[in-house]
Structures are given as C-alpha cells and as structure tokens.
Amino acid sequence: MSRFRSSMREDTQEADVNISPLIDCVFILLIFFIVTTTFVEETGVEVDKPQAASSVNLERNSILIAITGNGEVVYGGNRIGLGGVRPLVKRMLQKEDVPVIIQADREVQSGILVRVIDEAKLAGAEKVSVATRKQKS
C-alpha cells in the first residue's frame, strides 16, 4: 500500500507555467511602439485661430510657431521673438525637411504675421502655412 501512495504523490506535482517568453514579447512590443511613435510638439500657448472654409489637415511632423494676440512669437513655450524665427527654422530644417505652421491669433496684426512668414522662408522653408479652424457649415 505504501508503494501505491508514493507513486500517487509523484504524479500530482504542480505544473509550473513559464511566463518569461510572454514578458519578452511584451518588452519587444513596448520598444516597437516607443520607437515608431511620433510626438507632436505644441507651441505652448493658446491662440484663437481664425476660421477658414478651405482648412485641411497637415502633416504631424512640422515646425509649429505661435503668434499670440499681443504679438509675441512663441516656439515650444518660449518666446523667441521675430529675430529667433530664422535661426530656429534653419536649425530644424537641417535635421529634416518639414513644413512650418504658424498658429496666429485672429487679433494679430497682419504685418507681424507677414514678417514671421518672411523669416521662415528666408531660413529655407519651402512650405509655410497658417493654422486655422475648420469653418462650421
């Protein structure tokens, strides 16, 4: 009878589940999503964009420059002024050829907007756009 009991104990051992391959797959997926994700840099200020019927969505990779209602030129939450637009755009275009998008408040004087567009084009930007809101029909 004791031989029978000892053989029963050997057969009822608990089966272990090896989760190491599962953890490896999760880390590989995490690394994949981190590498392939593109992040959109915001300008750091809130502007009231004008509406336009011809609004279209532009590329995610772009240089976003904001002009506030009181005429301040902002990039990444920092005031860069009109003189900072050309060096900034030139430096960003050395990495990759991306469009420049200007988010101008609807109260901005047209002269300041034109000067920012001019500075971006003088820095070598081929595509310069003004951000607008889609007009509600």
What confidence tens digit (pLDDT) does each residue in 35-74 have? 887 665 666 666 666 655 555 665 567 888 889 888 888 8
CB count in 10 Å sphere of residue 27: 10
Residue 102 DSSP SS3: strand
Closest by CA position to 99, among listed 48, 57, 135, 55? 57
What confidence tens digit (pLDDT) does each residue in 67-120 have? 988 888 888 888 888 888 899 989 988 888 888 888 888 888 888 889 999 999
Query: Is residue 5's pLDDT more than 60?
Result: no
Q: Please, what is the Cα angle at 37 between 33 and 40, to 5 degrees? A: 155
H-state helical runs in the chain: 2-11, 20-36, 85-95, 110-122
Looking at residue 28, its pLDDT comes to 92
Question: Are the C-beta atoms of residues 53 and 135 closer than 8 Å to each other?
Answer: yes
Give the separation between CA 83 and CA 101, rounded to whole angstroms: 17
Phi, psi of 113 (to 5 degrees): -60, -45
Give the separation between CA 15 and CA 114, rounded to whole angstroms: 73
User: Which domains does the chain show, CATH number per domain?
Assistant: 2-36 (no CATH), 51-134 (3.30.420.270)
pLDDT band at 26 (very low <50, low <70, confident <90, very high): very high
- pTM, whole model, 2 decimals? 0.60
Question: Are the C-beta atoms of residues 88 and 98 closer than 8 Å to each other?
Answer: no
